Structure 1
C-alpha cells in the first residue's frame, strides 16, 4: 500500500482490494497463532487462564501503545511513513516467532494429512456437533460482523467530532489500556470466577460504548465510555481462548 502510494498512486478501489486481500491472508496467520498457543502454554507450564489473560493483556497493551504512537507518527512523519513502519513491524514479529519460540515437545500426528475440503468438512461437523463450540463460533461471527464498521467509524468520529489524529490515537490508547487492565485482572482471577457469569456480564457492557458514542459526547465522556467498555472487553478473548483450547483437540 505505501509502495503504490509513493510511486504510481493508489485509487480507492485499489485500497479496498488491498484491505480485502490483507484480511483474507490474515486468516491463516490467525489460525496458526491460535494453534500454536496451547503448545506455548504447555512449554511454559502455566494455567491456561493465566496464559490467555497475559496474551489478551499483550494485545491490549499493543493497542494502548500503538494507538497514540500511530496518531503521533501520522502527525509527525506522515501516513505513508507510518505504514512503512507498520509493515516492518510484521517482519520483526515473524522473525521473533521463527527464532525465539521452540518447537512443541508433543509427538507429531502420524496420520498423513487428508484433503483440504474433507478436513474442512470434518471441522465443520466438529463445530456443529458440540453445543458450546457452536455457540462460541456463532457469537463471534455475529459480533465481528456487527463490529466491522468500528475501525472505519472511529477515524471519522475523531475527525468530525474532536478534530485530529492525536485524539483518535488517545481514544484507541484508552480503549487498549482499559483492555489491558481487564485482561490482567482475568489472568490473575479468571480461574476462580464462573466463566458463564464473567462472559455474560462483560458481553452485556459492550453495547454501551456504541450508545455513548452515538450521542457525540464531550471528549472526556467519550474516553470514559471507552475505558469502561475496554475493561469489560479485556477478559472476553482470554476466556474464549481458554475454553476453545480445552475443548478443541
Structure 2
C-alpha cells in the first residue's frame, strides 16, 4: 500500500481514537471537578447544537478550500479546545462555564472534521493506488478498532492519571492526526470541480445548491434516511435500553462486552469487504448488510438472555461493517466532487442530531411502559427501515454509473 492511503488511514484512526477516549473521559472529568451529574449533562447538551449547526454550514468552507487543509484545521481546533482546559485549570481552576465554552469550541471541529475526511476519500483513491472497496473496508475496520480500544484506554488513563493529564493525552492524539495529515501532498486535497456541477456563488447560494442536489437525488435521500434510522435504533439500544436491561438483571458490567461484540463483528465484516468487496455485484453485499442489521437488532430486542444479546450485537457489528463499507464506496462514486463538503456535511449533521431523538423516544417508552416495549418498538422501526431499504427503487442498482457520478447526482437519476 502506498504512503498516501497509509497516512490517511493512520490519521483517521488517531482522530477517531481521540474522540472515543474523550467521549468516555470527558464526562467523568466534568463529574470529578464539578461533582454534579447535571453539569455533565449540561456540557453534552450545550455542545450538541453547535456541532450540528457547524456540520450544516461548514460544508461550504470545505468545498472552497483545500480539503487536506480543512482536515488539519479541524483536528487542530479539537486539539486546542481540549488542551486549553488543563491550562485554565493550572491558571485559575476549572468550572462548568469553562467546560461549556471549550466544549462548544471543540464541537465546531467534530462534524466538519468528519466531513473533511470524508471529502478527501475520492482523492485518496485516485492518488493512492487503492480501490475504494479496499480503502473503505480498512477504514471501517479501523473504526471498529477505535470503538474497541477507546473506552478501555479512557478507563485505564482515568485510573493511572489525573484528569488534566488525560486531557493532554487526548489533545495529543488530535494533534498527531493533524501532523500525519500534513504528510499527504497538498495537491491531493485540491477541490476538483467538473463542468456539470453547480457554478460557484455566495455562501448561502452554495449551501442551498448542495441541499438541492441532496434532496433531488432519490439515491442520496434513500441512503441518508436508511442510515439515520439505523443509527437512531442502534444508539437507542446501546445508550438506553441495554443499560436499563443489564441494570435490571444486576449485571451492569456486561454492557461493555456488548461494545466488544459489536466491534469484533465490525472488524470481521469490514475485513471481508476489504478483501472481497470488489468481486461480484454489490447488491448481495447491500442485502447482507441490511438483513443482518435488521436480524441483529431483532435478536438484541428480545432481551431473552445475556448471551443472546451478545450474539445479536456481533451480528449487528458484522452487518454494519459490510453496510458501512459499501455505503462509503457509493458515496465516493455518487456525490459530485465539488459538492462533497456541503452534501456530506448535511448528512453528517443529520446523523449527529438524529440519535438523541431516538434516545428520548426510547426513554419515554421505558419510563412509562417498560424496557421490553421500548426494545420491541426499536426492533419494529429497524424492520420497517430495512424493508424500505431493500425495496426502494433508488437502491436496486448499485453498480458504477458509466455516465459519471456528478451528472447522476445532479439529475437525481
Normalised by the length of structure 2, the TM-score is: 0.52
Partner residue of 2:96?
none
Task: Find the counterpart in structure 2 of residue 200 from structure 1.
Answer: 287
Q: Separation in 2 of the partners of 1:90 and 1:22?
A: 23
| Structure 1 position 83, deviation (Å) | 6.9
CA-CA distance at 1:92 after TM superposition: 4.1
Contact persistence 1:209–1:229 (CA under 8 A)? yes
Q: Are residue 59 (structure 1) and residue 143 (structure 2) matched?
A: yes
Question: Contact between 1:53 and 1:187, CA under 8 Å: does it hold in 2?
Answer: yes
Correspondence for 2:227: 140
Indicate if the aligned counterparts of 1:43 and 1:104 stay in contact, CA closer than 8 A: no
Q: 1:40–1:104: 8 Å Cα contact kept in structure 2?
A: no
- 2:296 is the counterpart of 1:244: no
Give me the whole-angstrom Cα distance separating, in 1, the residues matched to 2:303 and 2:42: 32
Post-superposition shift, 1:107?
5.2
Distance (Å, rounded) in 2 between the aligned partners of 1:81 and 1:106: 35
Moved more, 140-149 or 77-86: 77-86
Higher relative contact order (CA 8 A, sep 6+): 1
Cα RMSD after superposing both structures: 3.3
Pair 1:151–1:94, CA change in 2 (3 A)? farther
Name the counterpart of 1:103.
186
1:60–1:177 CA contact under 8 A, matched in 2: yes
Q: Deviations over 1:146-191 (max 9, x none)?
A: 33423422444444436244x2222211210111110010011111
Cα distance, 1:47 vs. partner? 0.6
Say if 1:214 and 1:118 are closer, same or farther in 2 by CA, change over 3 A. same
| CA spacing shift, 1:213–1:142, aligned 2, 3 Å | closer
Shift of 1:246: 0.9
Query: How far is 1:137 from its partner?
Result: 1.9
Which residue, 109, 114, 119 being the options, matches 1:30?
Answer: 114
SS at match of 1:101: coil
Post-superposition offset of 1:131? 2.6
1:173 aligns with 2:260: yes
Q: 1:45 aligns to what?
A: 129
Do the aligned partners of 1:54 and 1:184 also contact (CA within 8 Å) in 2?
yes
Aligned residue for 2:278, secondary structure, equals: helix
Deviation at 1:4, TM superposition (A): 4.0
Give me the whole-angstrom Cα distance separating, in 2, the residues matched to 1:44 and 1:243: 18
Please list the CA deviations of residues 59-103 of structure 1 after superposition, one character each: whole Å capped at 9, or x if unmatched: 1122233344456667x4599689747843652454344433332
Structure 2: gaps spanning 5 or more residues: 1-25, 53-106, 337-413
Separation in 2, partners of 1:82, 1:193: 50
Q: What residue ranges of structure 1 are gaps of 5+ in the alignment? A: none
User: Which structure would you say has the larger Rg?
Assistant: 2
1:151/1:214 Cα in 2 relative to 1: closer, same or farther (>3 Å)?
closer
**Cα distance change of structure 1 residues 173 and 69 upon mapping to structure 2, 3 Å threshold:** farther
1:161 aligns with 2:249: yes
Q: Paired residue for 1:7? A: 33
Q: TM-score, normalised by structure 1?
A: 0.81
Q: Which residue of 2 aligns with 1:149?
A: 236
Once residues 229 and 118 of structure 1 are traced to their aligned partners in structure 2, the CA distance between those partners, rounded to angstroms, is 40
| Residues matched between the structures, number | 247
Once the two structures are TM-superposed, the CA of residue 113 in structure 1 deviates from its matched residue by: 5.6
